[in-house]
Chains A and B, each alone.
Chain A
Amino acid sequence: MKRRILGISVSIVSAVLLILSCNRKSDPIGPEYFVAPADFSVKSFTLPSDSLNFRVEKCTINAEFSHKVSWTLTFKGNKTGAVMTYTGASDAINSSVLLWNGVHKDLYFFKKEDVTVTLTFFGSEIVKTGKVFIKGTRNYAENPMNVYLAKGDSNGYEKFLAGNTLNNFGSFGAQFTFEQVAATTRRVIDTSIALEGNKVFQINGSDGGGFFIGGMQHRRKRTAPGIEPYFFDKAGWTPDPSKIYYNIFVYGTGQANARMNLEFHEADLSSNSIKPISAAQCASGGAAAIDEHSPCFDDAYIAVIDISHTGWKMFSVRYSDMTKSAVANNGNNGNGVMEPNRVHRIQIGVNTTPNNNSVNAIWDFPIITYGGPFDPTK
């Protein structure tokens, strides 16, 4: 009996081992690296002598090493602290290895500024440094996965004049409307705290007893009857709400009650339909336009973000994660289907919770992206 039990146990263990002994892949795991040997040296290290204009060019460095080695190249803005880092393993760096087009990682954007370049090597104490100057910053609209909210190639609010009349939105004025309650400041500010460029947008005020303080609508109007003026008409984009992201950078001032609504307003009824295009028209039954979103006939999809933080922070919300407006005659009367190809208005709203509070909201660089949240490295 004892021998039989021992035999059974040996059989079970053997069977388990046999089952488990399948083949695994043999490729190394993790990113490849080369440690600098003791006699490692840098033969040459050269930076561009001219200022860099990333609107028209890309940048590389030229360096040669005695051995193939893992290296890290860091660009750091002296004024902004913006950083871009590249890593690689080679015995030289040139334009075939690396081309920097002014992108950055983390939060801060490069501006027109001096940039310190640092090259380090894995396993070596050798450090090479130098300096370049940026005279033209990255235009993220060149990335086909990005669409600026402002018309044209304006990064953030750079093309608008500072001030609060907002007539200075100039030729872009037709693209924007503003809503606000009393005693609200809304303006473009030229400020050193701007995350990207030099300008930000601000809405600052109290809610006057409601929850809404103010907001900005970016609008697209049809160009001809039946021609839908989609926001997202880029090649490769499909009207798939799980692919479209609403991104914005918000400068929080630590107000616990501060909230922001990010909203997509659709035109479920054709833009050829005559329908009320404001809450007031909905209430009165009037009809004033044929080519826009109607709060009482169409859908509005909303994400509420908490902007009670301090300093800059990026928010990114996927269209499909938004919720349909629950407010009667204010975006909850549509067909209930998320249709990015029917978006006519994109809104930024500043709110408080609870009511009877003030909020100072500052934001920059609103941008719609496809396939994922805004990626500053691309």
Chain B
Amino acid sequence: MSNMTLKIKIAAALLVAGTLGLNAQTVYFNGLGRALVTTENLKGNILSQVDSSFSPLKTKDTTSNRKSTDGYTLFDLGINAQPSEVLRASAILRIRNEFGGFYGDGSNLLFRQLRLDGIIAKKVKYEIGDIDLELTPYTLYNFNESYHEYEADLFALRRSVVHYENFNFGNKWRMQGANAVANFRFTKIIEKIGLRAFGTRTNSAIFKNQTSPDRLIAGGRFDLVQSQYFQMGATFVGLTDMPQTVASAASVYKNDVLTFDAKGTYGTEKIEVSILGEGGFSQNSYVRAGIDTAKGDDYFYDAGVAVRYKPLNLKVFANYRDVGYDFSSPTAQSRRIHDYGYATQYFGQVFSNTRLRTNILESGELLAGTTLLDRMMDENIRNLNVQTSLMPFMPQYNNVTPYGQATPNRKGFTFGVSGGETDRTIKGEAAVDMLSEIVGEGTPDKETRDFTAIRAGVLFNVNRVIRWEKGLAIKLGYRSENTSRGGVNKIDFSSTLLDAGITAEVVKQLDLMIGYKALMAEGNEVIAMRNSLNQIASYQIFNVKDNQSIVSYGLRYRFSKNTYFTAQGVHAGNTFRKESLNYSINQLFLNYTMIF
């Protein structure tokens, strides 16, 4: 019996079993269906390089793809069996057919998610299997890949597909294990105490050679809410290798993070003042048997004040943080995206299929990696695993906090303002990071980098002003970064990211959408490359003069709140180091999505 046939039979059996069991228990279904097709072409001097300093070719590239058509149809069927109010088993069964698949050829069937959950003694909620976890930004947090809160709806739609495929649900990490939460309410002195504990496994010795042990992540959180005026908490996350799970462990990794946080609030009818902060420690060790050992302990703190004017939901805040250079929190510092060196879905290889498009080097320097378009639409470059070493990155996209709020070796102020609501006339925010390194990196004169980042965005629901019954919204986003360092090894690097978008409901439920996104980056930077011990082993130099832009336009018809069809045209242009390398990708994107 083929594997495919077996899977289909198992799925059918589950469906039948679930359906027949209706009288004994509650069985209900949910799911997502999606049909997605793209057709694209690649143009530019990337296809005509002959013996340039970054192309290995001595002859013109005639074999790399210039055009492609890709896509798929998938159906994620969520089957939920609830035999009682306190027990539930759920599975998401995925049937996917690649575009061009015929009579099952190119089709596959798999379980996207399996989970058991329930309630013990009306107090403890638990879930076992595929779980999504998030704690604080310094402990367990899957931080966003870039500043895109105010990008055009067109781009947000593309990004939502990638997020769904890669389990990027908010800032949660998708893991396999068990999670339990309990809340206890009190009538005097303390309002509530919350407890959470979880355990997951990230490395499996079963599928590895006999020297890589199981790696477990375990942790929990304690919450104490004294009243609406004061609350505090403690969080622990530990990563531990289990050397006894293999015959001879080549290495043993251990990392513990313990933090404490508190928030005090004082308010009147209109104004609310909060003082809040989080601080903690990390302890890290990595022992490679008979070779070497790396250890690092460090701490961080992040404290600030926020004032909110309630009638307008207007908030002004200021924070100061200090995150030590050895502060290690892999579950909060792992990046979502591999910035370079990974094959993309579209035009993955160039120079007669000899080089990855996302890893074009010139004299050892990275000339081109992923582009704005790749980062928005590509499903293959996402990182789904907690990484114990800080991952390499491109400074064009985020040089100030490349490892999220928990980026090590940073200190300084963040302040800003936010206000409004999505369903009101206006919603917006602006924030400034004024940070610096705590210690210099590699440079002999102890000079440290200074960072300035400004980000701002606004959503303007124009229809509410002109009293138009249909939707008409404008979005604008801006993010600017500057990095500088003096001394022997000077650094001067800047980048600007622009977003603009309009969504206009021209006919009932039919939206006309336009989007624009651009990135300009220029200057020199030196990025540390880490070894498996998370020590700086070498450096990657960047001399950048990049211009990237995406123009997109299209339509979206909304059948219901969660069901839509969209057709979009995309033009993405990229030039690297002035014009020495350029290419553009033009794409037609069709997407029908149904969620029920």
Contact = CB atoms under 8 A, between A and B. Distances in A.
A372 interface: yes
Nearest to B529: A30
A125 interface: yes
Contact of B539 (A12, A20, A33, A318): A33
A125 B227 CA distance: 63
A16 to B, nearest CB: 5
B220 interface: no
A152 interface: no
A29 B264 contact: no
A125 B53 contact: yes
Nearest to B260: A16
B554 to A, nearest CB: 43
B536 interface: yes
A6 B539 contact: no
A216 B385 CA distance: 45
A321 interface: yes
A122 B541 CA distance: 8
B419 interface: no
Interface string A331-374: 00000000000000000000000000000000000000000110
Interface in A1-26: 2-3, 5-6, 8-10, 12-13, 16-17, 20-22, 24-26
A347 to B, nearest CB: 19
B444 interface: yes
B264 A6 contact: yes
Interface residues of A, number: 41
B526 A33 contact: yes
Contacts of A29: 325, 409, 439-442, 536
Nearest to A25: B439
A262 to B, nearest CB: 12
A130 interface: no
Contacts of B276: 13
B291 interface: yes
B226 interface: yes
Interface in B514-552: 524, 526, 528, 535-539, 541, 543
Nearest to A321: B248
A369 to B, nearest CB: 10
B232 interface: yes
Interface string B25-47: 00000000000000000000000
Contact of B279 (A6, A16, A26, A35): A16
Contact of A32 (B324, B443, B528): B443
Contacts of B143: none
B340 interface: no
Interface of B is mostly: strand
Interface string A244-274: 0100000000000000000000000000000
A33 B489 contact: yes
B230 A26 contact: no
B442 A28 contact: yes
A31 B536 contact: yes
Interface string B204-215: 000000100000
Contacts of A13: 262, 264, 275-277, 303
Given A13-B275, A122-B541, A31 B442 contact: yes
Contact of B301 (A16, A28, A35): A16
B528 A30 contact: yes
Contact of B289 (A17, A24, A318): A318
Contacts of A10: 264, 275
B301 A20 contact: yes
Contacts of A30: 441-442, 528, 535-536, 539
B559 interface: no
Nearest to A27: B439
Interface in B220-249: 226-227, 229-230, 232, 248
A178 B446 CA distance: 62
B438 interface: yes
A225 interface: no
Contacts, number: 122
B299 interface: yes
B229 A2 contact: yes
Nearest to B230: A5
A372 B291 contact: yes
A218 to B, nearest CB: 22
A104 to B, nearest CB: 18
Nearest to A318: B290
A34 interface: yes
A3 B275 CA distance: 13
A372 B288 CA distance: 11
A154 interface: no
Nearest to A26: B439
A9 B230 contact: yes
Contacts of B488: 34
A345 B541 CA distance: 53
Nearest to A372: B290
B363 interface: yes
Nearest to A375: B291
A144 interface: no
Contacts of B104: none
Contacts of B275: 6, 9-10, 13
A2 B442 CA distance: 49
Nearest to A323: B247
Interface string A303-343: 00010000000001110010000000000000000000000
Nearest to B301: A20
B311 interface: no
B340 to A, nearest CB: 19
A35 B489 contact: yes
B266 interface: yes
Contacts of A210: none
A62 B528 CA distance: 29
B526 A28 contact: no
A33 B442 CA distance: 6
Contact of A9 (B210, B262, B289, B439): B262
B263 interface: yes
Contacts of A123: 524, 541, 543
B439 A373 contact: no
A17 B277 CA distance: 9
A120 interface: yes
Nearest to A32: B444
Contact of A26 (B248, B260, B446): B446
Contact of B266 (A6, A12, A372): A6
Contact of A28 (B277, B444, B535): B444
Contacts of A31: 442, 536-538
A373 B250 CA distance: 12
Interface string A288-308: 000000000000000000100
A13 B163 CA distance: 36
A8 B439 CA distance: 33
B229 A28 contact: no
Among A5, A27, A89, A373, residue most surrounded by chain B Cβ atoms (within 10 Å): A5
Contacts of B53: 125
B53 to A, nearest CB: 7
A33 B443 contact: yes
A8 B276 CA distance: 12
A125 B54 CA distance: 11
Among A29, A123, A306, residue most surrounded by chain B Cβ atoms (within 10 Å): A29
Contacts of B230: 5, 8-9
B267 to A, nearest CB: 8
19 contacts: A5-B229, A5-B230, A9-B262, A12-B232, A13-B276, A20-B299, A28-B439, A28-B440, A29-B409, A30-B442, A30-B528, A32-B443, A34-B488, A122-B539, A122-B541, A125-B53, A125-B363, A306-B210, A316-B290
Given A16-B303, A29-B409, A89-B444, 4 more contacts: A28-B442, A32-B443, A123-B543, A316-B290
